Homo-oligomer: A and B are copies of this chain.
Amino acid sequence: MTDWTREREARDARIAAGRAFADGKVVARESAKALLEVIIRPGDRVCLEGDNQKQADLLAEALARVDPDKVHDLHMVQSGIVLPAHLDVFDRKIARRLDYAYSGPQAGRIAKMLFGGQIALGAVHTYLELFARYFVDLTPQVALIAAVSADREGNLYTGPNTEDTPTVVEATTFKNGLVVAQVNEIVDRVPRVDIPGDRVHFVVDARKPFYVEPLFTRDPGAITETQILTAMLAIRGIYAEYGVQRLNHGIGFNTAAIELLLPTYGERLGLKGKIATRWALNPHPTLIPAIESGWVQQIHCFGSEVGMDDYIRARSDIFFTGPDGSLRSNRAFCQTAGLYACDMFIGSTLQIDLEGHSSTVTTSRIAGFGGAPNMGSDARGRRHPSAAWLQAGREADPDRAPALRRGRKLVVQIGETFGEKNVPLFVEQLDALALAEKLDLDLAPVMVYADDVTHIVTEEGIANLLLCRSRDEREQAIRGVAGYTDVGRGRDAGMVRRLRERGVIRRPEDLDIDPLDADRSMLAARSIKELVQWSGGLYRPPSQFRNW
């Protein structure tokens, strides 16, 4: 007779083994390694919590120190490969297979290890896609997560950085898996219950805060006038043109410039209340002036941002907060909001090819996808209309019967024709293709596919790809905003002129923008210090951003 509760029995046996290192559910940090050695089995799928922000760093280091004779051939299924320990587990042959989403700071090392064959790669995902697979074919057997505090029953308080935790725990614990949380401290009663204790099997008392990366902080002092020009173009040529109210911004100085121009340039154009009112966005410090000026109605966050906690607490009409007053973030829901409830995604990238495919991969660095492909793709399951979405759909397919014509998500790539270190943004062929060949991948790691991109913005102008009617037109529209890059110089001047006449390409002057006006004085805040002033002292930037 089949035993249909084997997983549950195996889980209970592991818990029983782990109890040797615990007082109730509580484990001393010194015992973390020993605990992991008895509760993890070779071949397990393990989620080590960590994304582009919070990290279960103590548990990551403990896992990297386990005895590879006891624990080996793990299949890591996790959002982020961010800490050195995340790759050490592969170096030490504790882990073998990997499915993940984001590897920003380890982009160089992970590329080397993939080339070297130390990691057997499943796939690079977006966050939401990986979460989806947690419920279907990548369900973790063990989840190692991070929270701010726990009580002795295992109830967890994540504080403002709830992020992936509820999703990881739900997939693991309800499919007979084991959940171990590192917490900064054990308390008598948690300020709010982010994870109920009956989902948590062990709590490791880390006696120190888990690590959080201030990834979404951009110093206004570093914003260039070229970036300000691209921001003006985007506001006037896209935000205002489509009346975009619900949106997400990627990370980068171009979008930070947009945030800082809303209360100045945007105000002058009379756009307050008409654009950029509702956001799926982390609490970007550069959005503070727009919030304080009454531009923003609501923000839902993937995670928090270092230093923003007091500000958020004092602005609960804008942010989602808990009964304790602090931010409630949730990556799964915010990604869903970005996918289905936003009319625009705008972000930067490293390379754009002649069709409009873009990628952040270079031959020696694999940064992963994070959330961009999810939010930067047309959500074909969407059924509710909005003015911006309908207008984009109309532009893309003017001849179709309106009632059968879906709208389109606005997916905008913004950047300077020559990026950091003077590397051209536009290329004949993405480095991602060479990488796919080298690693024998089925698919090149494309961030946003050409058929999803609707606009490309550079200092030379806006290319509206929705209005292109052929492959040739698309290519020339892209070349037409590619400036002095090789791609830009390869343009067909006559065709680019005709595209401009049709409004497919729009130059600054076509939008009444004088590039000489693109001045740093237009920024609502020109420094981190001014952001602090805007916040009434509530924003407390991390030390690396304080220079006064």
Residues of A within 8 A of B (CB): 2, 4-8, 99, 122-126, 128-129, 131-133, 135-137, 139, 155, 167, 170-171, 173-176, 192-194, 196-199, 245-246, 278-280, 294, 298, 300, 314-318, 320-323, 328, 330, 332-334, 336-337, 339-342, 357, 369, 373-385, 390, 401-406, 432-433, 436-437, 441-446, 449, 451-452
Contact = CB atoms under 8 A, between A and B. Distances in A.
B129 A340 contact: yes
Nearest to A123: B384
A341 B137 contact: yes
Contacts of A369: 383
A316 B7 contact: yes
A174 B175 CA distance: 27
Instruction: List the 8 closest pairs (A to B, CB-CB), nearest first.
Output: A123-B384, A132-B340, A193-B196, A377-B381, A136-B341, A132-B341, A374-B381, A377-B380
A138 to B, nearest CB: 8
A334 B336 CA distance: 13
A286 B6 CA distance: 24
Contacts of A7: 316-317
A446 B379 CA distance: 15
Given A122-B384, A381-B377, A441-B403, A131 B197 contact: no
A289 to B, nearest CB: 14
A131 to B, nearest CB: 6
Contacts of A446: 404
19 contacts: A4-B315, A5-B315, A8-B317, A124-B384, A126-B381, A129-B341, A129-B382, A131-B340, A135-B320, A136-B298, A137-B298, A173-B323, A176-B317, A193-B196, A198-B323, A332-B333, A402-B442, A403-B432, A403-B442
Interface centre among A300, A357, A369 (most CB of B within 10 A): A300
A336 B192 CA distance: 27
Contacts of A320: 135, 174-175
A379 B433 CA distance: 22
Nearest to A131: B336
Contact of A404 (B374, B375, B444): B444
Contacts of A378: 380
Nearest to A435: B403
A128 to B, nearest CB: 6
A403 B433 CA distance: 7
Contact of A136 (B300, B316, B321): B300
A193 B197 CA distance: 8
Contacts of A377: 379-381
A314 B5 contact: yes
B333 A135 contact: yes
B174 A328 contact: yes
Contacts of A401: 433
Contacts of A332: 332-333, 336
A446 B136 CA distance: 28
A11 B405 CA distance: 41
A137 B135 CA distance: 28
Nearest to A411: B380
A446 B383 CA distance: 8
Contacts of A171: 333
A65 to B, nearest CB: 30
A404 B433 contact: yes
Contacts of A135: 280, 300, 320, 333-334, 336-337, 341
A380 B381 contact: no
